[in-house]
Amino acid sequence: MKINSLDKKTDLYSITNRKVNELDKTISDKMMKWLFFNFTGLHITDYYGKEINYKGIKFDGSPRLVFWKYFDPFLENGIINILDETYQFCISRNLDSKVYLQEVSNLLRIIISKTYQSMSETDHKLRGNGSPGTVSRRRVNSYITTMYKVIDDHIKAVNLKGGDKTMTSNSKRFESLKSPEIWKQIKEEYDFTKKTFGNRISFVNDSNVRLVIFRDTEHAYILEKYGFNKPATVLAGGVIEELLRQYLIYKGIKPSKDDFNGYIKTCKEKGLIRDGYSGLSDTYRYFRNFVHISKEKTKKHAISKGKAKGAVAAIFTIIDAF
């Protein structure tokens, strides 16, 4: 279920709302597996990759203790990742982070409340085992308050980093690189002028979409140069996804599913991507999926500079595939 919209939305709302909904889906899918504990048992992995297996026992004692500790790491790390991504995005776009962090904070609070209420309901059903009226429902106010504090503390920590100073410094560097200078560097590195790039994406008829593709390509390139690996990869993946979507529109072909995976699958099935390039699109689907909250479990899973550079390079390689 999608998160309810707020009355007032910033320009980043669609991005932050999508990320929060991804976190919500990750947790909801795992909650559903726990819900069938009494019927099918449980086979699931925790946040750290450890397998949890139960079969033929009641939801009580150890299983119940595991349940009440199971979701916290997914929720806490998901919250921190979303706040960090929002903050880094603001830096890259010269935006005042306070407004946008407050918006994503409000969305995250909805998820927190929903998660613990759902845990309480699931616990109640499993302990009641068909007769929930025979057991009391666990109160979750303290859990919710604790996780709210995670949001507040992390936002304070970001501000203590000297975020405004960092933002100003990076903004000046970004602002000093105007579009012609960026494309001069792109020409030297990838042998694409802005005009050549535009000609190669002539199948994109919507003028606004073309402008966004140009803008996000430039930003992805600069972000990678300044070491913002994750934002660079997110933007590069977004550009590649939109290029595939627009090419299918141009060809009048309906994708098997209206998402990145669906675009890749349809392009491969219809032979729209030349031989030798289909593997490339698979690779960058992996990069795009890797920035999803549930995938970045530890520092070793973080996006490296090499992967970010490869993702940006893929933008210029993929348009040769059409």
DSSP string, 135-194: SPPPP-HHHHHHHHHHHHHHHHHHHHTTHHHHHHHHHHHHHHS-HHHHHHHHHHHH---H
Query: Is the model's pLDDT at 110 over the cut of 90?
Result: yes
Report the range of poorest mean pLDDT among 14-18, 29-33, 119-123: 14-18
Q: Which residue has the higher pLDDT, 81 or 260?
A: 81
- The partner residues of 54 in beta bridges, in order of sequence, read 42
Please, which pLDDT band fits residue 168 given cuts at 50, 70 and 90? Answer: very low
pLDDT in tens, 45-59: 988 888 999 999 999
Q: Which of 56-60, 177-181, 221-225 has the highest mean pLDDT?
A: 56-60
- pTM of the full structure: 0.52
CA 72 – CA 15 distance, rounded (Å): 24
Mean pLDDT of 183-209: 89
What pLDDT, on a 0 to 100 scale, did the predictor assign at position 34? 96
What pLDDT, on a 0 to 100 scale, did the predictor assign at position 153? 85
**Rounded CA Rg of the chain:** 23
CA 299 – CA 286 distance, rounded (Å): 17
Query: Is the model's pLDDT at 204 over the cut of 50?
Result: yes
Q: What percent of the chain has pLDDT over 90?
A: 36
DSSP state of 95: -
Output the average pLDDT for the chain.
81
Nearest residue to 234 via CA among 82, 129, 103: 82
Query: Is the model's pLDDT at 105 over the cut of 60?
Result: yes
pLDDT in tens, 284-322: 555 555 555 555 555 555 667 777 788 888 888 888 777
Question: Which domains does the chain carry?
Answer: 13-165 (no CATH), 177-318 (1.20.120)
The angle formed by the CA atoms of residues 17, 205 and 239, to the nearest 5 degrees, is 40
Q: Which of 93-97, 145-149, 175-179, 226-230 has the highest mean pLDDT?
A: 145-149
